[in-house]
Amino acid sequence: MYEKLLEKYSNQVEEKLEEYFEQVQSQGFISEVHGHIREYVLRKGKRLASCSTILAYKGYSGKVDEKILNACIGVELYRHSILIHDDLVDLDEYRRGGKAFHKISSLDDRFGEGMAIFSGNILYVMALDAIQNSGFSKAQIEKVISLFVNEFRMVNESQILDLLFEYTQPSVEEWYDMAKKRAASLFKATMLAGGIFADAQKKDLQVLEKAALQIGYAFDIQDDIIGTFASEEQYGRPSGGDLLLGKKPLHIVYALESRKKLIELLRKKELSLEEIEKAKTIIKRCGALDKAKEKLKEHAKKANELIQKTSMSSGSKKFFYGFIDYVAESLEWYK
């Protein structure tokens, strides 16, 4: 039931996106670029970002209308503008069953990377533009635009910190300082947008914001665990790629605290398959994986309690409970 509804909404969002790209005007090579952007954004995905917007909106207004679907065009463009720069800097070559954006061009790497930087920028302003044209009131739009301006800054700050952590050994506190601006910022932006567009009360928006943070933490911890432990068949990417880059997800932060030995492995430029397995074993054996999983459950629990405190309809609350369980428990949702 929960998954079916999610699929229904993501199909509606995808239809809207198709309509949107139909009317984008361009000529010459720029229309080729828009073609790549269209293909990239329309790759099959769970669309958790825009579904959170829709669920929050429905939770307060009781409906899913054209206006909120218009706004979701902006949410999806925003999400993908971030992904393009993220994959480029993280040297990821694939995204959702296709090439990462900087790998799409048939010209050389320099061109592909340049196109990815500028196309990410273009997607971000297309996102602002789509929100501007969603059909909501000027006051609502002003608030949501300001949210998407502020959170874009936060996301980019977290990206710098995430990159910095490859070169440093962050404490748990420093990890949370980074993480509160990453997925937490995305869920804050998408859920608050739904609430603002549905005229939710200020008090309720504050609770919703806190819930979004907890969902974001749960999401990130889960996502990072998948990144380290899921096999290529489960995940669609080679296993242990984050270890190769020396990334520092929470389970590694915990692991580093108890096992200095991992440091040596992560410092190495090239890890053998055997060494990757060794690293995984250390993370598991020292209890860091379990600790991270516990934290994930704690955040999911807090998110559930906070959602319960809001005055959203009980139907929408149920969807959120399902959604949170989904984030916290499934290994399959991330493609």
Residues that bind a second copy (CB under 8 A): 26, 28-30, 33, 85, 88-89, 91, 107, 110-111, 113-115, 117-122, 124-126, 128-129, 132, 138, 142, 145-146, 149-150, 152-153, 156-157, 159-161, 163-164, 166-167, 174, 177
- How far apart are CB 267 and a second copy at their closest, in Å? 13
Q: Which helix (H) or strand (E) holds 94?
A: strand 94-95
Specify the residue, 160 or 331, whose C-beta has the smaller distance to a second copy: 160
- How far apart are CB 54 and a second copy at their closest, in Å? 24
Specify the residue, 69 or 161, whose C-beta has the smaller distance to a second copy: 161
Specify the residue, 29 or 233, whose C-beta has the smaller distance to a second copy: 29
Specify the residue, 4 or 110, whose C-beta has the smaller distance to a second copy: 110
Taking alpha carbons only, the member of 149, 184, 177 closest to residue 161 is: 177
Q: How far is CA 285 from CA 231, 254, 281, 289, in A?
A: 19, 12, 6, 8
3-class state of residue 167 by DSSP: coil
Q: Where are the alpha helices (DSSP H) in 23-97?
A: 29-41, 48-61, 66-89
Specify the residue, 173 or 233, whose C-beta has the smaller distance to a second copy: 173
Specify the residue, 28 or 264, whose C-beta has the smaller distance to a second copy: 28
- How far apart are CB 139 and a second copy at their closest, in Å? 10
Q: How many Å apart are CA 187 and CA 198, to the nearest integer?
A: 16
Per the CB < 8 A criterion, the answer to whether 315 and 329 are in contact is no
Q: How many Å apart are CA 61 and CA 48, to the nearest integer?
A: 20
Q: How far is CA 21 from CA 13, 39, 101, in A?
A: 12, 10, 17
- How far apart are CB 132 and a second copy at their closest, in Å? 7
- How far apart are CB 7 and a second copy at their closest, in Å? 32
Please tell me what DSSP assigns to residue 98.
E
Angle between helices 2-22 and 29-41 (to 10 degrees): 170
- How far apart are CB 151 and a second copy at their closest, in Å? 9
Q: Which helix (H) or strand (E) holds 91?
A: none
- How far apart are CB 88 and a second copy at their closest, in Å? 7
Specify the residue, 94 or 118, whose C-beta has the smaller distance to a second copy: 118
